[in-house]
Structure 1
Amino acid sequence: MALTGAMCVGLAATLAGCGGGGEKDPDADTNGVGKLSAAKIEDKARKAAEGARAVHLSGTLVSKGRSYKLDMRLKEDGGSGQVSTKDATFELLRVGKELYLKADADFWIHEDDTAGGSGNGAEGGTGGASKADRAAAEKLEDKYVKVPVGDPSYQQLGGFTDKKVLLDGLLGLHGTLSTGDRAEVAGVRTIRVLAGEGSGGSVDVSLEGAPYPLRLQRAGDAGVIRLADWNRDFTLTAPDETDVVDYGQQLPSHD
């Protein structure tokens, strides 16, 4: 018995084989949010996101029946990156209130449809485009087109470059909140918060450092978004004037 007791003392640090076993604390070496209620975790994640200077947002967003693939870097005074739809891919750059759009010729032939307008056959390819339309579009290819503030496209396209607008829309969960599994996102330990047991969306919140949201599953299969590089600043620079086309009050229409 004396020998057994001595062995238990010697092995206490490993908690092995002496009736003193136990599980590792899942919150050891974390920021502690895993111990909180789902509502408090969600609140801390939202506040952390709002307070961050910058973020890299990527993934798929479904809105009003349209699917967008996003790869955007955002901060308080603007953003830059790429947006893709079923029919087109374009780049966006916003520096303060100045919004620029860059795309190939095919995009400009169907600009109205891509930007949410009526369009003229984006489903049917560019074969129906007139020579005049094609010539005009080729002049815009790979140029930064300045989007007028009063243009109908400004608010929608500008929303992709607005950190506050995007995060306010994405971080909204719908339904009763509950905590889910612990996992990892890009090697960072997380805890999941679910709304309506997942039907109202979910967010994976970092258990390391600040409790930033790292992965968002939107309700109704409306997309999955990853958020990274929180607080990692980057430079936003307006394009050279020689690379900019300014249409003044409104972008060209193809109706």
Structure 2
Amino acid sequence: MTAIPQARNRRTVRVTALCVLAVSALTMLTGCGEEDPDAGTNGVGRLPAGKIQEKSRAAADAAPAVHLAGTVVTGGVTFTLDMRLKSGGGSGSVTSKNSSFKLLRVGDELYLKADAAFWNHGGDTSAGGKLAGKYVKVPQDDPAYKKFSGFTEKDVLLPALLTLHGKLATAGHHEQAGTRTIRVSGDGGPGGTLDVSLEGKPYPLRLVRGGGAGTLTFAEWGKDFPAAEPAKSETVDYGGQLPGS
């Protein structure tokens, strides 16, 4: 009378063992139970590196405004930028080793604001007293206009900056200021790295330029900001080429 229960027990053990094996195999196929890092994201993390960069550039181009901050090294000079940019203008500060100044562009009109030391650096010590602390209108035919206006032009500055060099590849999932990102690298890093948002639109959030040419962060994509011409009382029209141009 005891043979039947024992046979049932053996079948139960075999079925249980098979279930355990099936669950184990399924777990292995799904990444040992690890969460998909792209689950709940905008999906760009699943794309090839070149496509991620392409979508990131498109999102940056389409955004009406952005706030960028960090360093840019060009011609052996390091500039520290804190700029807000949009198609109709831009404003912010630029600092280099020997000087610091503010820029404001409204349409095609560019204004530069700096202290006396900045203006005296050009050799005209009388200029410092006249121009210090004022928004100085930069003539469009002045060499300074071309030199500085690029810092305020979103459609000029971003394409020049958001470029990685060498063979592109993805370099893992990361986080920038609390936002999940996918990183794209050029030549494994020496060509630069770009962190692209996995939340919402695939905006660039952090750029490390190749060759040690600076690091920048991007935020407040699409957030507008005021860019109006300064008051007459705060403005000086030098009427000619600026000192030190």
Superposed pair shares fold, TM > 0.5:
yes
TM-score with structure 2 setting the length: 0.86
Identity %: 56
Alignment root-mean-square deviation, CA: 2.0
Q: Which residue of 2 aligns with 1:43?
A: 54
Q: Which residue of 2 aligns with 1:179?
A: 170
1:17-45 Cα shifts (integer Å, max 9, x gaps): 99745211111110000000000000000
User: Any residues of structure 2 matched to 1:10-49 within 5 Å, and which?
Assistant: 20=27, 22-49=33-60
Deviation at 1:139, TM superposition (A): 1.8
Q: Which residue of 1 aligns with 2:75?
A: 64
1:192 alignment partner, one of 183, 207, 223:
183
Q: Which residue of 1 aligns with 2:3?
A: none
Q: Which residue of 1 aligns with 2:5?
A: none
1:43-88 Cα shifts (integer Å, max 9, x gaps): 0000000000000010000011111000000000110000000001
1:168-210 Cα shifts (integer Å, max 9, x gaps): 1111111110000211001000010001111111100000000
2:161 alignment partner, one of 167, 170, 177:
170
How many pairs are equivalent?
225
**Which whole-Å CA distance do the structure 2 matches of 1:213 and 1:51 have between them?**
12
Deviation at 1:167, TM superposition (A): 0.4
Secondary structure of the residue aligned to 2:221 is: coil
The answer to which of 19-28 and 86-95 deviates more is 19-28
Stretches of structure 1 that go unaligned for 5 or more consecutive residues are 10-14, 112-119, 121-132
CA contact (8 A) 1:192 1:202 kept: yes
**Which whole-Å CA distance do the structure 1 matches of 2:127 and 2:181 have between them?**
50
- Runs of 4+ with deviation above 6 angstroms: none
The 1:95/1:19 distance shift into structure 2, 3 A limit, reads: closer
Q: Which residue of 1 aligns with 2:209?
A: 218
Stretches of structure 2 that go unaligned for 5 or more consecutive residues are 1-11
Give, as a single letter, the amino acid of the residue that structure 1 aligns with 2:62: G
**Which whole-Å CA distance do the structure 2 matches of 1:165 and 1:135 have between them?**
34
For the pair shown, the structure with the greater C-alpha radius of gyration is 2
1:249 alignment partner, one of 231, 240, 245:
240
